[in-house]
Chains A and B, each alone.
Chain A
Amino acid sequence: MDLDINGSMNRKLLDQTLRTYLLYSIGILVVSAPIFYFISSSLYLNETDEALLLHKKEFNQLVAPFLKRDDVLIWNKYNRDVKILPFRLLRRDSMFNKTYLDSLENENEPYRELNAIVTIEGKPFVYSEKTNLVESEDLIESVVWLFFVMIISMLAGLIAITKRLSNKLWKPFYQTLDLIGNFEIDKEKSIEWPESQIEEFNRLNQSISKLVNRNHQIFKTQKEFVENAAHELQTPLAVFQARLDVLMQESGFSETQNEILNSLNENLSRLNRLNRNLLLLSKLDNESALQREKISIAQRIEKHLEFFHEQAQPKNLSFDIQLDTVREIMANAALFDVLLRNLLLNAVRHNQTNGSIHIELNPNGLCISNTGKGTPLSSDQLFQRFSKSDSSETGTGLGLAIVKRIAELHRWSIEYKFENDLHSFLICF
């Protein structure tokens, strides 16, 4: 049994079936065993009664007419089980169970007894015959045991067979479950199903295949759309840029016109950045196997520091850099640079005047933290595409999405924390 997310119990299909079978069988056993016992013992009693009555009839027809009254004593002397007793009033033939002490074994044994009125030489006597029931009890006991053994072995067999058969029958289903569970829409095109003899499973697999294919198609189209859109935008953007560069060379613009041109330039520059980042992101989305090489993290960071020192100057930011650990990792160098640049630029961009930036490389990983807004950012939205902490920002809103995707491609973990007034990003390699 597995516990699912909500904490409720999930039973396996097979266990569920077996459980039901088992409960039913036990129920039948419990109810039927006593019934069976009573029926068999009452049947036996019936048989005994009939035998007793038959004996009495035989006695009446074959023995009584020839028996003398004086012979009664002798009869009683030599007959242990059939006695002729002095007359006492009996309504009719009566049969009952009675216990007698067995003198041989010295224990009480159950007997069935018949008392009836017989006439010997015209005088009424009581005919009393008893039959030992011990044998019948033994018989019933044996029968009940036999019944038990039969039921139990039948049940065990049933469980074993059901289990084996179900396991075999449901195997394709579990295989299907595993395959769907492991399916990654951005990596695989379709699912290869194992052959199944069972129509329902084949139908299930076909339906899932259809669904997967359709989803994959949609996913692909969407990815291609972003990539194509970004690509198609490049030529008009290039024309726009070139035209603007030429226009700027014209003389005689007023200051207002210059400002408009400048604004066009800035926004075009932003548009270009956005477009290139979109292209990069869609390229990363399509990427599965990266070309990797051995790189030294500390070296890569140092390479970028000059630039960021310069960028940090207007805000008078201080850097606290601890690159003690010599750490070499297998990574795509170009993408690692993109990741570093995005994180460092973020640390500069979202910083406050006279703030600080901390870069720490330790055996755990790389931690880049910065001072800034005094409230934590929403770590859910942080890595989403086009999420910005405030709308006045000029960033593309894609930087952290790119960082996350690069980390994913390298199978690194990245997390955001807000501690001691520091916004930190920790990457574990």
Chain B
Amino acid sequence: MKILLIEDEPELAKSILHYLSVKDFVCEWANSKATALDKISSYEYDCILLDLMLPDGNGFDILKHLKAEHKTEGVIIISAKEALETRIEGLEMGADDFLTKPFHLSELQVRIQALIRRKNFKGNNVVGFKEIEVDIRSRTVRVKGDQLECTKKETDLLLFLMGNENKVLSKSAIAEHLSGDMADMLDNHDFVYAHIKNLKNKLREGGASDYIKTVYGLGYKWQHE
């Protein structure tokens, strides 16, 4: 999966590149509008991560360019500009998703996965990990073919964990992912523990191996032994 990161802040770019350098991602980086346009015309990408404020121009120009060239790349805007208008404008101009800085890299990773899934596997909405399968559309979880009764939150949590395989996820990253719009106000992240515990129990009862590891004092990790 090829990803183009258009971001002028080198420290942030380096971290994103590092985090995304997992088995099926190939990441490239452009730090200006000119380099980005250059790369877009030379290569095909599955996903473009676009910062709106670039030293030599506005990220919207790149969106316009993609639209004019009938490119099919999925675009996630990563911007410090949060205003609703910017968000709507970006989505109207063909962006697929919008992530406001600062964000957790784990969040970015699952957004990229979701986007690529939507783009590439039309009709196939099942995410699997060994004996576990999650149908994204109907939000059902199956273990070895048998359906598990999971709440919406637990399914979300499962997808988030699976999407960040082998990554340590902090409690706050999980809490912010699960609370969505509430994240800006919620100051108590203890509810994560209850969800993790419930999910673990349900998976175990369903006959799945225990992939959720607790990283003491820090968070959780989805890991295959």
Contact = CB atoms under 8 A, between A and B. Distances in A.
Interface in B4-42: 9, 11-12, 15-16, 18-19
B170 A273 contact: no
B184 A235 contact: no
Interface residues of A, number: 47
B68 interface: no
Contacts of B101: 234-235, 237-238
Nearest to B175: A269
A234 B82 CA distance: 10
Nearest to A314: B190
Contacts of A395: 187
Given A266-B172, A269-B176, A345-B186, A249 B167 contact: yes
Contact of A283 (B19, B83, B100, B190): B83
A394 B186 CA distance: 9
Contacts of A341: 181-182, 185
A266 B191 contact: no
A179 B182 CA distance: 43
Given A248-B168, A310-B191, A239 B80 contact: no
A238 B102 contact: yes
Interface in B109-123: none
Contacts of A269: 172, 175-176, 189
Contacts of B15: 239, 242-243, 245-246
A316 interface: no
A341 B16 CA distance: 32
Interface string A2-32: 0000000000000000000000000000000
Interface stretch (B90-98, B141-149, B200-208, B211-219): B211-219
A388 to B, nearest CB: 12
Contact of A242 (B12, B171, B181, B215): B12
A262 B215 CA distance: 11
A41 to B, nearest CB: 92
B188 to A, nearest CB: 7
A240 interface: yes
Contacts of B171: 262, 265-266
B74 to A, nearest CB: 21
B216 A349 contact: no
Chain A contact surface mostly: helix
Given A245-B15, A262-B218, A314-B190, A399 B185 contact: yes
Interface string A256-274: 0011011001101110110
A308 B25 CA distance: 38
Contacts of B172: 265-266, 268-269
B75 interface: no
A409 interface: no
B190 A239 contact: no
B132 interface: no
Contacts of B82: 276, 279
A25 B16 CA distance: 90
20 contacts: A235-B101, A238-B9, A238-B102, A239-B15, A242-B12, A243-B11, A245-B104, A246-B105, A248-B219, A265-B173, A265-B218, A266-B171, A269-B172, A270-B187, A273-B186, A279-B82, A307-B179, A313-B194, A345-B185, A399-B185
Interface of A: 231, 234-235, 237-243, 245-246, 248-249, 253, 255, 258-259, 261-262, 265-266, 268-270, 272-273, 276-277, 279-280, 283, 307, 310-311, 313-314, 334, 337, 341-342, 345, 349, 394-396, 399
Given A239-B11, A276-B184, A277-B185, 16 more contacts: A235-B80, A237-B101, A240-B102, A243-B15, A245-B170, A248-B219, A258-B215, A258-B218, A259-B217, A261-B217, A262-B170, A262-B217, A268-B172, A276-B100, A279-B82, A313-B194
